[in-house]
Amino acid sequence: MLEIQPIKAFNDNYLWVFKDSGSSKACIVDPGDAAPVRAYLEKENLSLSAILLTHHHPDHIGGVNDLVEHYSVPVYGPESSSIPQVTETLHEGDSIEVANTSFRVIEIPGHTLDHIAYYADASSNIGIENPVLFSGDTLFAGGCGRIFEGTAEMMYNSLQKLATLDPQTQVFCAHEYTLSNLAFAEAVVPEDSILQHRIQQEQAKRENDIPTVPTSIALELKTNPFLRCSEESVSQKFPELAQQPIAVFAALRQWKDQF
């Protein structure tokens, strides 16, 4: 069984550490800072067996050099001149075996051109109860990442690709942005009762310092406006863009950038 835990870093990053149940070897996703990772491994009496990277931003790769100095481990990641530490370059459809689990690589450009995600489900893994997705900065709980290098169309298509995954997929994104994302979602669809219920639940978690992630694909399809651009409740905010979901998405993302 796969065990996944967050390591908090910076103001709002989650560095995801995971391992096979009963194993003393762990993997880390997007270690932007090595210090909390090394502290966690020491505290839990674990050794590092692999590093997985989703994209090249410093808060996701900043701790790699330090970690590989202390642990001789493979570094999996996208093909990018900005991440020379990668030892195993990955592309769409590739698979890797780490922590006794097979992860499929999904290319999801938009936030950056090199962005990838890691997905594991029961089709290739015994003991996976719900599929797992490490989505980096593309799909967030209640929102999506900013578009720094790609286009709105790229980001829309990447999100749609993730939206087709098993609804029970547990989404492990890299930041605690949920309450601010849901505040924006409420501005888009203020009368949505499912969204209102979610806001109450997530607020209660944060009041008790409990992470709001993982989320699920099912929940995001119901409450994340960036996955609902074809729904009238969202697109009616932009009547001039009727029947143009990519244009609605672009308008939503621009609105959120200034929200």
Q: How high is the pLDDT of residue 44?
A: 97
Mean pLDDT by 10 residues, the chain (259 residues): 95 96 95 98 97 98 97 97 96 96 97 98 83 98 98 98 98 98 98 97 98 98 98 95 95 97
Catalytic positions, please? 55, 57, 59-60, 111, 137, 175
Q: Which two tokens stand for residue 152?
A: 């709105």
Which residue in this structure is represented by tokens 């067996």?
Answer: 49
Superfamily of the domain at 2-223 = Ribonuclease Z/Hydroxyacylglutathione hydrolase-like (3.60.15.10)
Q: How high is the pLDDT of residue 140?
A: 98
Q: Does the N-terminal peptide bond of residue 214 adopt cis geometry, omega within 30 degrees of 0?
A: yes
What spatial distance separates the first Cα and last Cα of the chain, rounded to whole Å?
41
Q: How high is the pLDDT of residue 1?
A: 86
Q: Which two tokens stand for residue 9?
A: 């870093």
Q: How many CB atoms lie within 10 A of CB 105?
A: 20
CA dihedral (43, 46, 47, 53) positive or negative = negative
Give the angle subtended at the CA of 95 by the CAs of 98 and 71, to the nearest 5°.
Answer: 35
Residue 104 vs residues 107, 115, 259: alpha-carbon distances, Å:
10, 14, 35
Q: How high is the pLDDT of residue 13?
A: 97
Amino acid at 139: L
